Amino acid sequence: MRVLIGIEDSDRGMQALEAAAERAREAGDELTVAVYTVSDESLEETTAAVRDRIKTLDVDVEIIQIEEEPGSKLVEIAEREDFDQVVLSGGQRSPLGKIKLDSVHEFVLLNARTTVKLVR
């Protein structure tokens, strides 16, 4: 299965990556990681952090960067490149622990033609 993981630099993003990598090692999935930012972090720094984490995971991953409108770009890439699944992380948690889904989650869930997996 071809899996596209949308990831921002957060602990939960890394969790989503680890969950997908674990499945990929067992099932032989082909993983592509699309790095994006939701606030004003630098995309280069975020990508470097993701790259460092991937080195520890013992799995082959292609890394791409999404510079703007991550929601629509993820959907577009998934369609154009024939992915079977989009994986997103469960976003940030609020101070008292509520899951905060953002506009990227909303756009992808409502508009993707593939299965969307939320790791939380």
Partner 1 sequence: MTEYPDETVGGFPTPPRTVTDAEGRTIEIRKAENSIEELVEMYLDFHAEDRAQGIPPTNESDIRQWLSVVTSDEELNVIAYHDRDPVGHVMLVSDEEGGYELAIFVLQEYQAAHIGTELLRTALGGAAEEGVERVWLSVERWNRPAVSLYKKIGFQETGDDHFEKMMKLRLD
Query: Of the two residues 27 and 96, which places its CB atom closer to partner 1 in the complex?
Result: 96
Query: Of the two residues 15 and 65, which places its CB atom closer to partner 1 in the complex?
Result: 15
Question: CA–CA separation, 22 vs 5, rounded Å?
Answer: 13
Residues forming the site for partner 1 (CB under 8 A): 90, 93-103, 105-106, 120
* Buried b or exposed e, range 71-95, using 16+ CB within 10 angstroms: bebbbebbeeeebebbbbbbbbeee
- Least Cβ distance, residue 38 to partner 1 (angstroms): 11
- Least Cβ distance, residue 42 to partner 1 (angstroms): 22
Query: Of the two residues 24 and 88, which places its CB atom closer to partner 1 in the complex?
Result: 88
Q: What are the tokens at 9? A: 């630099």
- Least Cβ distance, residue 107 to partner 1 (angstroms): 10
Name the CA dihedral angle for 39, 41, 42, 48, rounded to a multiple of 10 degrees.
-120
Query: Of the two residues 90 and 111, which places its CB atom closer to partner 1 in the complex?
Result: 90
